[in-house]
């Protein structure tokens, strides 16, 4: 198109001039060729420029498209980053909370460990105490068995002694004397009418015979002790003397008289104690004649030797 316009202009210039010299014509033709060359070159450059523009436009579109894609990706990444930040904050808070809880848990664990150690220590102490108690209990059970055996032996000995004394005194009336076992002791209760006259401290012949038979039955028993207790009613004595002013004196002197008969008959003095209780240990109220007669008595309390029992008890 541009080529045609140039040719038309050139022809017009020739026609406008009636007479053109050859030189001028050659110059003009040379200019024309040059112009055409320049025009072709410009046209080629224009085409190259248009091609470049087209390529740049395509690249621009692609770049814009890529930019849009990147923008969307950026938005998505920003969104994801925000979510990750939130998750991070949440995790961080949880971590801090866990650290706090962990510190408390460690403290609790330390306390529980101390408590456990204390419990273990107490258990060990309790176990040792139990072992000691078990040993002590076994020893006590052994001693209890020994004591039971000794007591059974003593009970049998007391019962045998009671039977022996009862057999020795069979010829006396029950209202004159009684023999019984009480609290592990043998009680021989002798009525006043068997031993003494009223207000007297001298033992009757019949009473002396009873005491001699008693002494014969027990004089070989070296593991017993005898308490001779004199008892009266509450009636004051009528014949007072320098050495006997009341019932108390009477009860003591009667016990002494019986003691002398027993020792003379073979009982060791080391095994006898004399005592008087007067009217102060009655077996019945002093309100009737029969009751007063019961209270006027002498009791011989025979106690087995308890040294073996005391030895076992002391060892506890």
Per-residue pLDDT reduced to its tens digit, 144-156: 887 788 778 888 8
Residue 203 in 3-state DSSP?
coil
pLDDT of residue 212: 95
Are residues 294 and 186 part of one domain? yes
Number of domains in the chain: 2
Vertex 109, ends 106 and 114: CA angle to 5°?
130
Task: Give 198's Cβ-side CA count (13 Å radius).
Answer: 7
Task: Specify if 156 maps to a domain.
Answer: no
Task: Specify if 301 maps to a domain.
Answer: yes
Residue 179 in 3-state DSSP?
strand
* CA 68 to the chain's CA centroid: 78
Beta carbons of 237 and 246 less than 8 angstroms apart:
yes
Residue 186 in 3-state DSSP?
strand
| pLDDT by 10s per residue, the chain, length 316 | 555 555 555 555 555 554 568 888 888 888 888 888 888 888 888 888 788 778 877 777 887 787 777 778 778 878 887 888 888 888 888 878 877 877 877 888 888 888 888 888 888 888 888 888 888 788 878 878 877 887 788 888 889 999 999 998 888 887 889 999 999 899 999 999 999 998 899 999 999 999 999 999 999 988 899 999 999 999 999 888 888 999 999 999 999 999 999 999 999 999 999 999 999 999 999 999 999 999 999 999 999 887 666 666 666 5
Give residue for tokens 């009970």.
Answer: 155
- Domain holding 282, by residue range, is 169-314
Are residues 176 and 64 part of one domain? no
Are residues 310 and 178 part of one domain? yes
Taking only the tens place, the pLDDT of each residue in 179-221 is 999 998 999 999 999 999 988 999 999 999 999 999 999 999 8
For the record, the structure tokens of 221 come out as 């028993």
What is the Cα–Cα distance from 214 to 156, expressed in whole angstroms?
19
What is the chain's mean pLDDT, rounded? 85
CATH code at position 185: 3.30.1330.60
pLDDT of residue 253: 96
What is the Cα–Cα distance from 177 to 294, expressed in whole angstroms?
11
């Amino acid at each position: 198109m541009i080529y045609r316009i140039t040719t038309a202009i050139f022809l017009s210039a020739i026609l406008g001039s009636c007479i053109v010299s050859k030189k001028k014509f050659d110059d003009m033709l040379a200019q024309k060729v040059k112009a055409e060359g320049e025009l072709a070159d410009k046209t080629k450059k224009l085409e190259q420029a248009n091609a470049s523009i087209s390529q740049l436009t395509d690249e621009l579109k692609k770049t814009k498209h890529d930019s849009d894609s990147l923008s969307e990706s950026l938005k998505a990444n920003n969104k994801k980053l925000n979510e990750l930040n939130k998750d991070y904050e949440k995790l961080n808070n949880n971590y801090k909370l866990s650290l706090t809880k962990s510190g408390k848990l460690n403290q609790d664990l330390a306390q529980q460990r101390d408590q456990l150690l204390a419990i273990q220590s107490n258990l060990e102490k309790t176990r040792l105490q139990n072992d000691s108690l078990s040993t002590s209990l076994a020893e006590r059970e052994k001693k209890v068995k020994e004591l039971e055996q000794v007591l059974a032996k003593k009970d049998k000995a007391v019962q045998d002694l009671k039977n022996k004394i009862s057999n020795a005194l069979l010829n006396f009336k029950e209202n004159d004397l009684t023999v019984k076992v009480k609290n592990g002791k043998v009680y021989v209760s002798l009525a006043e009418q068997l031993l003494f006259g009223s207000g007297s401290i001298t033992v009757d012949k019949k009473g002396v015979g009873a005491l001699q038979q008693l002494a014969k039955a027990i004089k070989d028993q070296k593991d017993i002790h005898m308490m001779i207790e004199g008892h009266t009613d509450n009636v004051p004595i009528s014949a007072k003397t320098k050495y006997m002013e009341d019932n108390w004196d009477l009860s003591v002197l009667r016990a002494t008289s019986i003691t002398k008969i027993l020792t003379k008959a073979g009982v060791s003095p080391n095994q006898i104690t004399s005592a008087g209780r007067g009217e102060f240990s009655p077996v019945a109220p002093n309100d009737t004649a029969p009751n007063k007669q019961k209270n006027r008595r002498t009791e011989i309390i025979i106690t087995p030797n308890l040294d073996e029992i005391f030895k076992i008890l002391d060892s506890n």
